[in-house]
């Protein structure tokens, strides 16, 4: 118990540090900037950030969310991504233990978090993130005991087909980026967990859209970033997909 808690804490710290890098990817990839160079700097004053400025979550707190050098405010998303990555890394260790699945699911998490935030902020699902994601998911399926190549391909095909239909009916509502992302998520989750991911995204997106409309936060016709919901669906399905699927199917077996 103590051992598990300590390792979970270690994975939370690892996740938070990886989250720092994911922030940089979320900042730079939509602008077509390199994620390798230059090192992290303040986007306002351009000062290079020191190790002390880059401690996940804590730097944000003790700098009160402002750049140490020029006082420009740091987006709240920065500590959010770090905290989220830390939490998910710890949860994945708790689920998979030290295993190949853990390494692969941590990699998926990085893709999903970057996609979640870039779609949320820019309404964009970048090919340079999704295409490598598709390749990685395809290769990983060969090494994932519980999924395997066949279930992965079926999952990819099913998710792709489900999201292709709304895209063909109404392209402005569901873009090609969403369709490609569905393929990636389906390959990652495999069948039947891919169904759980897609259904959660459709349900979550639908409910939130209805709520936003009812509260007057959005006008009819204004879109929601579906990729953001699909990333959440994929993550939840990675952690609890089989359980959700069994629970749902249980209703029909009586």
Which residues in this chain contact Zn ion in the complex, by CB under 5 A?
A: 42, 44-45, 67, 69-70, 72
Residue 98 Cα distances to 3, 8, 106, angstroms: 12, 11, 11
Which of 77/218 has CB closer to Zn ion?
Answer: 77
Which of 73/99 has CB closer to Zn ion?
Answer: 73
Which of 69/240 has CB closer to Zn ion?
Answer: 69
Instruction: Show Cβ contacts of residue 226 under 8 Å, excluding neighbours closer than 6 positions.
Output: 119, 174, 178, 201, 205
Residue 199 Cα distances to 49, 111, 170, 232, angstroms: 42, 20, 19, 11
Report in angstroms how near the CB of residue 79 gets to Zn ion at its nearest: 17
Report in angstroms how near the CB of residue 25 gets to Zn ion at its nearest: 20
Report in angstroms how near the CB of residue 49 gets to Zn ion at its nearest: 9
Report in angstroms how near the CB of residue 22 gets to Zn ion at its nearest: 21
Which of 5/44 has CB closer to Zn ion?
Answer: 44
Of 230, 116, 228, the closest CA to residue 184 belongs to 230
Of 247, 225, 222, the closest CA to residue 236 belongs to 247
Is 231 within 8 Å of 183 (Cβ atoms)? no
């Amino acid at each position: 118990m103590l051992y598990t808690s300590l390792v979970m804490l270690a994975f939370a710290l690892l996740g938070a540090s990886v989250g720092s890098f994911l922030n940089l990817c979320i900042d730079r990839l939509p602008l077509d900037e390199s994620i390798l160079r230059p090192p992290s700097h303040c986007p306002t004053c351009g000062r290079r950030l020191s190790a002390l400025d880059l401690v996940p979550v804590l730097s944000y707190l003790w700098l009160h969310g402002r750049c140490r050098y020029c006082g420009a405010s740091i987006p709240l998303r920065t500590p959010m991504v770090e905290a989220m990555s830390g939490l998910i890394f710890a949860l994945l260790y708790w689920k998979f233990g030290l295993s190949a699945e853990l390494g692969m699911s941590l990699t998926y998490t990085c893709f999903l978090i970057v996609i979640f935030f870039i779609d949320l902020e820019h309404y964009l699902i970048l090919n340079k993130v999704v295409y490598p994601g598709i390749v990685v998911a395809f290769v990983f399926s060969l090494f994932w005991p519980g999924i395997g190549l066949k279930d992965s391909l079926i999952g990819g095909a099913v998710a792709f087909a489900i999201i292709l239909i709304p895209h063909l009916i109404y392209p402005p509502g569901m873009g090609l980026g969403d369709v490609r992302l569905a393929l990636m998520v389906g390959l990652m989750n495999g069948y039947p967990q891919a169904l759980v991911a897609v259904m959660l995204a459709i349900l979550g997106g639908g409910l939130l859209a209805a709520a936003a409309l009812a509260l007057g936060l959005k006008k009819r016709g204004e879109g929601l970033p579906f990729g953001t919901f699909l990333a959440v669906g994929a993550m939840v399905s990675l952690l609890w997909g089989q359980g959700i699927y069994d629970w749902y199917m249980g209703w029909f077996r009586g």
